Amino acid sequence: MRTSKLIAIFLAVFALTAMAAPPAKTTTQSKTTTTAKTTTPAKTTTQATTQEAKKPASIDNWISGEVGLFAIGARYERMLSSEFSIGVEAYWHSLIFIWNDGGIIASGRYYVSPIFFGELGIGYNYHTGIGEYEYKSANLFGYGGGTYKTTDWISTSGFVISPGLGWKVDAGDPGEFFVQPGIKLPITIGTQRPVAFDIIGLNTYEEKVGVSIGLVIYCGLGYAF
């Protein structure tokens, strides 16, 4: 009788132990899940590395030709950072054939945003426009002489300070083709004389030092790399 009771107790303990043990299939699934979780970050890291490799290098060189109303020019700009650049340009801009500005200047730019910039240039400029000029009349046999002022077409040539504003539109992917409209006010300080004297090449004592302000409106078309 005692033996049968012991056997019954043993079988009951075995049954409870078998029911409490987790199935083998569950363990396999757990391992699979763990493996998948471990592999996913590796894929993400690989994709991130590929995207970093595809990022373009910085665009530092901007070369453009400038066009406008009876105007032509060429400019080179070198980016020093995302906000500052230096450059040089040569230009000739005409407005109704009376107001003209032509010269060569070096300039610096500050970008208040990736598109808008302010600039300041210095160099040489030749400006023509309508202004007041003082002539000296001849003294004949002790009569006449003196000076008088009149409005005339005069030129000013010499040192220039050229402030300006503009926009740089780099459409599409960074670099390559871009459009750059702008405006500047060349302030020329130098020798003034009637334009007629410049045309015929006449050198007279009537030259004087003066200041003139021009207006240049342009649109640059170029390539960046």
**46-104 residue pLDDT tens:** 454 444 444 456 899 999 999 877 889 999 999 999 999 999 999 999 988 899 999 99
- Enter the DSSP assignment of 44: H
Would residue 148 be called left, alpha or beta, if left means φ above 0 and alpha means ψ between -120 and 50 degrees? beta
DSSP reduced 3-state for 3:
helix
For domain 62-224, give the fold: Porin (2.40.160)
Q: In terms of pLDDT, which residue wins out, 181 or 140?
A: 181
pLDDT band at 188 (very low <50, low <70, confident <90, very high): very high
Q: In this predicted structure, what is the pLDDT of residue 31?
A: 44
Amino acid in position 126? Y
